[in-house]
Amino acid sequence: MNPAIYYFTGTGNSLALSRLVAERLGGELIPIASVIDRQRIESDADVIGITFPVYYADLPNIVRRFAEKLHSAKGTYIFAICNYGGGAGDSLKALARILESRGTALSAGFGVHMPQNAFRKPWEMKWLAYKRAPKRADFIVRSVEEGKTGLFYSNVVIQAIMTPFQGWIRRMTALALGKASSTPSPSGLTVEQLIPLAGKSFSADAKCTGCGMCARVCPVHNIEIVAKKPVWQNRCENCLACFNWCPTSVIHGPLANSNYRYHHPDVTALDIAAH
């Protein structure tokens, strides 16, 4: 095999999973952020992996754009790994629909439970998620090597429970994002259109040192440092990288809980910034 593993990560969960799979498959790791500005993303790999976190029970915008630009040889085995604190939602099926519209197909999709990065879940046992991740990666690798097809969720019960509520989740998400971005309601904007605007809801308090780490870890260059202070533009992905990797915890916003900050213990800010 000649695998290429493309990943999108904000706080490290997707990168940590991608490393596990790439190591076992002998594949190349490629940040989606490093190729997303291309008009056409071409790959000659015979196996392509796409790893991403689930946002609002769906695909992150950047992964949606990536899939729409991806070009590969017909018959390429494409698999996806979505990780989540709750469930996969519609993410894997949405990715499959996009690839199908491009004349290719999602061969297999895998769900992996990882710690929540946006808010505290008192009952969550992060250590258990970290412990299970290598075993889940082994299953994914075996499945890819065997050419398995289909969707493989880490918890089919949760997936079944969440599916009927997909429409309600998106409506509630649109309301929350509209409020965060100060968009008049009803705006008529979709969740995908509101997500970039919500970046304006972030700000840094007076203790900000102007170190620029927030701008370095942002995967879409949405932050500019002006007069030693971060200024958010309208290209946000809601990945919370700026919020969670700020070394002085001075960034705040309605999309994140200021009393809870998270990043994967095996990933550093410099890893995130290397896109």
Which domains are assigned to the chain?
3-164 (3.40.50.360), 167-273 (3.30.70.20)
Helix, coil or strand: residue 172: helix
What H or E segment, with its residue span, contains residue 197? helix 191-197
Amino acid identity at 179? K
Contact (Cβ atoms closer than 8 angstroms) between residue 238 and residue 200: no
- Both tokens of 191, joined, read 């969740």
Does 6 score more than 90 pLDDT? yes
Instruction: Spell 65-96 as b/e; 16+ CB within 10 A means b.
Output: bbbeebebeeebbbbbbbbbbebbbbbbbbbb
Q: Which position has the higher pLDDT, 162 or 204?
A: 204
Instruction: Give the sign of the dihedral formed by CA 242, CA 243, CA 249, CA 252.
Output: positive
Per DSSP, 12 falls in state: S
pLDDT category of residue 24 using cuts at 50, 70 and 90: very high
Amino acid identity at 77? Y
**Chain center to CA of 132:** 20
Instruction: Give the sign of the dihedral formed by CA 268, CA 272, CA 273, CA 275.
Output: positive
- Least confident residue range of 65-69, 150-154, 241-245: 150-154
Contact (Cβ atoms closer than 8 angstroms) between residue 130 and residue 265: yes
Q: Find the mean pLDDT for residues 147-175.
A: 85
